[in-house]
Amino acid sequence: MMSFGRLKFERRMEVSRVWQVLAILIAIAASMLVTALLLYTAGADVSKAFSHIFAGAFGNWDATIETLVKATPLMLTGIAVTIAFRAKFWNIGAEGQLFAGAMMAFWISTILGWLPAALLFIAIVAAGFLGGALYGGLAGVLKTRFGVNEVLATVMLNYVIKYAMSYMLVEGPWRDPSSFYQQTSKLPDVAQYPLLLADTRLHIGFAIALVAVIVIHILLTRTSLGYEIRAIGANPVAAKFKGIRVNRTIVLVTLISGGLAGLAGAGEVFGLHFRLRPDVSAGFGFTGIVIAMLAGLRPAWVIVAAILFGALLNGGVRMQIFTNVPTALISAMEAIVLLFFLTAAFFSRYEIRVIREDG
């Protein structure tokens, strides 16, 4: 008679706050260790690489402000993905919704450019949200009315909007006739976002991002719509039997999610680049997925995760300059951080039991 055992994962009845904190600390230590090994194999001085990342991200006032600039679109795409994922709508299209918001905001600015600065700003922000919302809502309608898988729909819609924008910037009416690049003419000063701090690049889009996170937190935790979203995310079948109009709520969620991503696009165009061009997003929509998962789909933690990734992006530039390590390693570091934090989140919620089997 031999005794064998198999492993079984069981959800913890109660998640200890101490264990959660311990799991996060272990995840931080493990991700730093693996990142150090990665830098070492790339031929970099590990201590110098880490110090340059920190100095580039938070070494002085200017570096800290620039980190917040980098974090601004990430907060918006992160919270956009968060609200969609809470309803178990797998929105992989925040990148396309970002471009849709940028395009709508630019178009409105060309039509309403005669407005005073304050009114034009409101119109641009509203148009950015509307553009992203309509594009996100399209994916919601495709799922609820025609049964199209949202992952496939949102991924394909990313390409549709990018090619549409390329056409407008290459052969369409938006192309800057004085430039060989795919871009529009520079926006007039009246259309540009106001700065939060003089002599910096930190614009009002950062405040918009913070407000958006707070609003979504309140919506998810203090409103009936938030209850419906969480109920659908937990069990859509049970939610339907409870009287929740699942399809309507999903479409509404996609409108909100897409609108938030659209705000990120408007912010990049009117707050930083001051013209519409294909590189207004450095993959912010896809990074937003990572941020949402790293935050555990909790709005408040989206801010922390976005600033962390903004720091990695900003510090990575300095690391490359002083250590000759390619910035592509920053993407690998982001993946490592995500992997260990997701693992920590899993083991904080589940315990491993050994089931003995006699044979």
Q: pLDDT tens, 2-36?
A: 444 566 777 766 666 677 677 777 888 888 899 89
What are the pLDDT digits (tens) for 69-99?
Answer: 999 999 999 999 999 999 999 999 999 999 9
Looking at residue 1, what is its pLDDT?
41
Looking at residue 27, what is its pLDDT?
82
Handedness of CA 295, 299, 301, 302 (dihedral sign): positive
Cβ neighbors of 88 (< 8 A, separation 6 or more) are 232, 233, 236
- What is the distance between the alpha carbons of residues 290 and 286, in angstroms, rounded to a whole number? 7
> Which of residues 85 and 328 earns the better pLDDT score?
85
* CA contacts within 13 A on the Cβ side of 134: 13
Looking at residue 2, what is its pLDDT?
46
The first and second tokens of residue 76, run together, are 């918006």
What are the pLDDT digits (tens) for 219-264?
Answer: 999 999 999 999 999 999 999 998 999 999 999 999 999 999 999 9
Task: Average the pLDDT over each of 61-65, 284-288, 354-358 and give the range with the smallest value.
Answer: 354-358
Partner residues linked to 203 by β-bridges:
195
Task: Average the pLDDT over each of 161-175, 242-256, 289-303, 330-344 and give the range with the smallest value.
Answer: 330-344
Q: With bands split at pLDDT 50, 70 and 90, how would you rate the model's confidence at 335?
A: confident
Looking at residue 228, what is its pLDDT?
96
Task: Average the pLDDT over each of 139-143, 250-254, 281-285 and give the range with the smallest value.
Answer: 281-285
| Under 8 Å between Cβ of 263 and 78 | no
